[in-house]
Amino acid sequence: MSDEPAVPHIPDEVLNLARAARHVAVFSGAGISAESGVPTFREVQTGLWEQYSAQDLATPEAFENDPDVVHTWYRWRASLIQGVQPNPGHLALAHWQQRLRSSGGTLSIATQNVDDLHERAGAEVLAHLHGSIMAHHCHECGAPAELTTPQYDGAQPPSEPEEPPLCQVCEQGMVRPSVVWFGEPLPMEDFERTAEAMRAADLILVVGTSGLVQPAASLPLLGMERGTPLIEINPESTELSDAMHHRLRGPAGEMLPALMQALGVD
């Protein structure tokens, strides 16, 4: 008997839809990043931050009240993210995107994730609906800011908080991560680009999202207006499952490579 794991089965209906699709829209969530080992909010609330909740560290008010703690928490999270790698699910989407583009098609990726794993896998991302932890801007004037990725000692959190730098444009505001905090609106351009991609697609994949975080989670359902097939890839049932035409129950890192293999995408 072979020790190699069995390749997940892709139903013929799903395979036929994927084979025929020329314009694919992908909506990805935390599940695909978790498969790479990206730590969750709870997993990084240690050391300096063990007495805080996610809401205590992810609001504009938290940054204004204790900028050093919030700044350092996000810098440490960014460092941890840089220590993990894209998984086979990220790579499969990048390869599919390249294959479709080479034949005049499109594969648009809109993600709820603030990491850069899709990009590091070689994919172009249409929209980061909740922002990017790798990007920064001034909390006052909004000007973009460049910060190098910090390198901490493994998983050990820093012992002391670090002061955020001041904006080099207005010289008054503090530099903050370009993520969407609780109480802040989603970036309108990203939201509109995603909505347009969902409406224009002839196939929509919903990958690794719980469907709980609104309003972003409702975006894939825009394809229903045109009768676009929706496929969910998730190990578990979600808030969106009942609206899906097909459900592939398994990790993205297994199901997406199996789909690409069945399609003959290298």
Give the confidence band of 42 by pLDDT, cuts at 50, 70, 90.
low
Task: Check the CA dihedral 178-26-125-222 and report its sign.
Answer: negative
pLDDT at 266: 67
CA–CA distances in Å: residue 144 to residues 1, 121, 164, 203: 56, 25, 14, 35
pLDDT at residue 3 is higher than 60: no
pLDDT score of 137 more than 70: yes
Helix (H, G, I), strand (E, B) or coil at 144: strand
Pick the more confident residue, 158 or 132. 132
Per-residue pLDDT at 1: 42
Distance separating alpha carbons of residues 29 and 43, to the nearest angstrom: 17
Domain extent, residue 50, equals 12-263
Q: What is the mean pLDDT of the chain?
A: 90
User: 16: annotated binding-site residue?
Assistant: no
ω into residue 60 within 30 of 0, thus cis? no
Query: Greater confidence, 118 or 226?
Result: 118
Query: Above pLDDT 70, what percent of the chain?
Result: 92
User: In what helix (H) or strand (E) does residue 30 lie, and over which residues does it extend?
Assistant: helix 30-34
Residue 5 lies in a domain: no
Within a domain: 3: no
Give the least confident one: 59-73, 174-188, 201-215.
201-215
Q: Check pLDDT > 80 for residue 150.
A: no
- Indicate whether 7 belongs to any domain: no
Looking at per-residue pLDDT, the higher value among 36 and 153 belongs to 36
- Specify the 3-state DSSP secondary structure of 97: helix
Query: Would you say 216 is a known binding-site residue?
Result: no
Say which range, 54-63, 99-108, 124-133, 184-193, has the weakest mean pLDDT: 54-63
Do residues 253 and 207 lie in contact, with contact meaning Cβ atoms separated by under 8 Å? Answer: no
Q: What is the CATH number of the domain that holds 28?
A: 3.40.50.1220
User: At residue 2, does pLDDT exceed 50?
Assistant: no
In a domain, 132, yes or no: yes
Say which of 71, 118, 130, 136 is annotated catalytic. 130
Arithmetic mean of pLDDT, 106-131:
97
Is residue 251 annotated as involved in ligand binding? no
Percent of the chain beyond pLDDT 90? Answer: 73
* 82 marked as part of a ligand binding site: no
Q: Which residue has the higher pLDDT, 143 or 54?
A: 143
**Known catalytic residue: 246?**
no
Q: Beta partners for 28?
A: 111, 207
**Is 146 within the bounds of a domain?**
yes
Q: Is residue 73 part of a domain?
A: yes
**pTM higher than 0.95:** no
Handedness of CA 121, 122, 126, 130 (dihedral sign): positive
74 domain-assigned: yes
Number of domains in the chain: 1
Q: Which residues of 188-224 are buried (b: 16+ CB within 10 A; e: fewer)?
A: eebbebbeebbeebbbbbbbbbbbebeebbebbbbbe
